[in-house]
Chain A
Amino acid sequence: MRMGALAICERDVRKFIKQPAVMLASIIGPLLTLILLGSAYGGAITHAPVAVVRESYGPFSSKFIDILRNEQSCAYGGINCQNSFQLHDVAVIDRAQDMLREGLVKGIIHIPLGFDRSLGDKLNVIVTVSLDNTDPLSAASIGSEVVQAAQQLSSQIQISTANGSIITADLEDYYRNVLYNEFMAPGTFVQSIMFVSIIAGGVQIVVDKERGIIEGYLVTPLKKYEIIIGVLLSGVIKALFTSIATFVLAIIIVGIRPSVDILGITLTMFTLFLTSLGLIAMMTAYAVRTTSADVYRVSSFPINLTLYYTSGAVYPLEGFPTWMKDIAIVNPETYSVDALRLLMYKGAGFQAVTGDFAFLAGFTVLMVGLATFAFRRSL
């Protein structure tokens, strides 16, 4: 009797449509994370104050400082290519070190006595760069730029002195410049699915149980599998609808640019579908045995956080400590995020995402089984 399963699904979907707040919360929450976190983390470091202690005066040191002033920082995004630091001349090294300790500057570039003379004599020189690495992101950004400036100067010196062949390195990005918020976006869509799974999926079930709606189902001839199918089906419809809405809004508001081809879009949608089914089934399995809506709400919060941050949604997995990598391996969201990133930005085909799909499918089967097993046909 399929009519029963469809009727349960119809009820949930009708309720969902008439409660726009649930849907909006599941869209706005993740989207806001994308906008705020994406903007906060994704921006290149600019105008960090850096002290220059110049003890040598001559053409080379002047050239070096010029290069430093013009160094462009486009480390993360292509939009604001600006100096990541601003130079402040400081007379003596002791004063500069005090400034570093007091947090007035983020680094010190020390051009030592004899810099120009040594370079004139074609000797190696060392420029000491002291960095405030309590702020690792700024330190990395400043450090790499000073190194680049030094390389640029030495190559110029080589060219002018050797009077020979010109070496130019032509760097090319394999993919178009992907901004940090684009990197984050796949996790955002997965999170909107998770939100729906928690709010419209699990909470609905626990509340229905508290209100006696489930008891109302149990007195009808609906079979156990019909109830489960109905609940999962409505959950998938709700989650898919919400995540696609988030997707579209991310394109419009945040300006993410996924690659547009029929296969890619189809596979992206399929990834969202598989993720929805898996996460809905997971939260359903949890919810059917939870008796208190409060306990469910409070406990679903850390579940969501853990899955989101260990999925590689906001930072590459390669940067995780071992214990977090272990969680990532069993976390379904990891595979969703991976598949979405491959499909959205690299234009990868089916071949590339089969592994992700296999894991997600296996996870989904397991969770649907668990939900069916956990659901009891009597009170």
Chain B
Amino acid sequence: MDLAVQTFGITKTFDDFTAVDHLDLEISHEVFGLLGPNGAGKTTLQRMLVTVLTPTEGTATVAGADILREANKVRERIGVVTQASTLDLELTALENMNLYGKYYGVPRKKRQEKIRELLEVVGLADRAKIPVAGYSGGMKRRLEIIRALVHEPEVLFLDEPTTGLDPQARAAVLDYVKKIHEEHGITLVITTHYLDEAENLCDRLAIIDRGKIVALGSPTELKRKVSGGDIVEADFLTLPDDAWKALERTDFVLEIKKRDGGLTIVVKNGAEAVPKIVELVDSKGGKLRTITLRELTLDDVFFTFTGRSLRE
């Protein structure tokens, strides 16, 4: 099966800072997420894949064309939604879309049909003739996404598609993105630092940190890679050193990590572990503020592989 994206040791350095570091990646026709904190190199990687940045080293193929030798073929076969909004607010949705169709050389009749269809898909058909300035944040994002689809690309790149939206608008945008993938069979490459987005939307994920892939797989696979069961988050008013050292020595604790104001503890069985932790801390003279039990998330996966939280 041919791949939607394949990179070969792709590297980008700015002065003496390496943003993307000899990265090898294969994306098939799926919804693929590039997950990582700000500055991890996600956007730089994507900018190289969409041919606006030239790699310092290595190359990649996108939609079957080489990004260096066949840049224009790549451009014809992809759609891009950049992080910052590039809509012309003075113009209407129709005008915005029409112009993009022309940039791609889509013939008039086909363009008009496609635009009408796409506006229907994201529920903007009845507001297509008002200036975009009057749109809500979520509507603008939806419009930008379908604007990148007028020329029927094979791969759609979305850079942080829901940043700056309220939860409701985010949910709507994600629903439409899913729908577009399901109905049109377009490969989606999404960069994000939202865990729920990555978890709910993506078939596979690459966790990127400091320009390198630190983990790769489906959200479930990734979570399985982290040793075990549940997570206990404990915050303390006071925590004597020997209290958490004692915790480390117990058999029910798999892993323990210190963070601001408390501990993140990976345990075999959460329901059994919580009372034991409370008891142990108390016996060592520590004072708990809160203790909560939760399921493993991608943040824990990220934490495990990088030693840092995505939220930092």
Instruction: Tell me the A residues contacting B by CB distance below 8 Å.
Output: 1, 3-4, 6-8, 10-11, 14-15, 18-19, 211-213, 215-223, 378-379
Contact = CB atoms under 8 A, between A and B. Distances in A.
Given A215-B52, A378-B54, A379-B53, A11 B82 contact: no
B29 to A, nearest CB: 20
B102 A10 contact: yes
A220 B104 CA distance: 6
B102 A3 contact: yes
B86 A11 contact: no
Query: Which of B75, B102, B131 has most A Cβ within 10 Å?
Result: B102
Given A18-B90, A211-B84, A218 B51 contact: yes
A219 B99 contact: no
Given A218-B51, A378-B52, A15 B90 contact: yes
Contacts of B53: 378-379
B220 interface: no
Count chain A CB atoms within 10 A of each CB in B52, B82, B95 and give the residue with the most.
Answer: B52
Given A4-B105, A7-B102, A14 B51 contact: no
Nearest to A220: B103
Given A3-B102, A11-B88, A221-B76, 18 more contacts: A1-B105, A4-B102, A10-B99, A15-B91, A18-B131, A212-B82, A212-B85, A212-B86, A213-B88, A215-B52, A216-B80, A217-B103, A219-B51, A219-B75, A219-B78, A221-B72, A222-B103, A378-B51
Contacts of B85: 211-212
B91 A18 contact: yes
A19 to B, nearest CB: 6
B107 to A, nearest CB: 9
A369 to B, nearest CB: 23
Highest count of chain B CB atoms <10 Å: which of A1, A7, A220: A220
B102 A6 contact: yes
Interface in B40-85: 47, 50-54, 72, 75-76, 78, 80, 82-85
A221 B90 contact: no
A8 B51 CA distance: 20
B90 A219 contact: no
Contacts of A1: 105
B82 to A, nearest CB: 5
A221 B100 CA distance: 11
A218 B72 CA distance: 10
Contacts of A15: 88, 90-91
A315 to B, nearest CB: 41
A218 B80 CA distance: 10
A4 B47 contact: no
| In the complex, the 5 A-B pairs of residues with the closest C-beta atoms, listed nearest first | A7-B102, A18-B90, A219-B80, A216-B86, A220-B103
B11 to A, nearest CB: 16
B75 A221 contact: yes
A7 B75 CA distance: 17
Contacts of B83: 212
Contacts of A8: 103
A378 B74 CA distance: 14
Contact of B75 (A10, A18, A220, A379): A220
Nearest to B90: A18
Contacts of B100: 220
Contacts of B50: 219
Contacts of B80: 216, 219
Contacts of A212: 82-86
Interface in B85-136: 85-86, 88, 90-91, 95, 99-100, 102-105, 131
Contacts of B82: 212, 215-216, 219
